[in-house]
Amino acid sequence: MTRPRLILGFDFGTRRIGVAVGNELTASARVLDPLPARDGIPDWHQVSRLIEEWQPDLFVVGLPLNMDDTESVMSTRARKFGKRLFGRYGIPCEMADERGSTREAKTIARDAGHRGNYRDDGVDGLAAVLIVEGWLADQEGLPR
């Protein structure tokens, strides 16, 4: 039997990239500190530190498709980010449909009593958790 994989998940954004770490054994993920980005480009030294610390087996990047399944400008940019992750680190990268993850993360934050700026309340990381956990559920054939 192979060991469960450790997954780093990303909610791509132009100013912030949400990050979560998940694991196949527990089929769950938890929020990590977001990565600041400039026009979608993170500080690659920070990304390298994350990789050194967590030593993931796989990256999962949220793919923001339109509701009619078409690609958007952001989905093209998210794919490019995923390709850069693979190119820099040689770790497999999968894209995961993230439609609704940010909206769901905002609802979760609001229901938890966060009333301020949703970005300050860790919604980017929460969206990354939802992306990883949704991807894990899809692998297991579980309902989301």
**CATH code at 58?**
3.30.420.140
Range of the domain at 100: 6-140
21 domain residue, yes or no: yes
Half-sphere exposure of 48 (CA within 13 A, CB side): 5
- Check if the beta carbon of residue 62 is closer than 8 Å to that of residue 12: yes
100 domain residue, yes or no: yes
- Check if the beta carbon of residue 127 is closer than 8 Å to that of residue 105: yes
- Check if the beta carbon of residue 109 is closer than 8 Å to that of residue 80: no
Number of domains forming the structure of the chain:
1
User: What pLDDT is stored for residue 118 in this prediction?
Assistant: 44
121 domain residue, yes or no: yes
User: What pLDDT is stored for residue 133 in this prediction?
Assistant: 93
Residue positions counted in the chain: 144
119 pLDDT tier (thresholds 50, 70, 90): very low
Asked whether the predicted pLDDT for residue 17 surpasses 90, the reply is yes
1 domain residue, yes or no: no
User: What pLDDT is stored for residue 117 in this prediction?
Assistant: 47
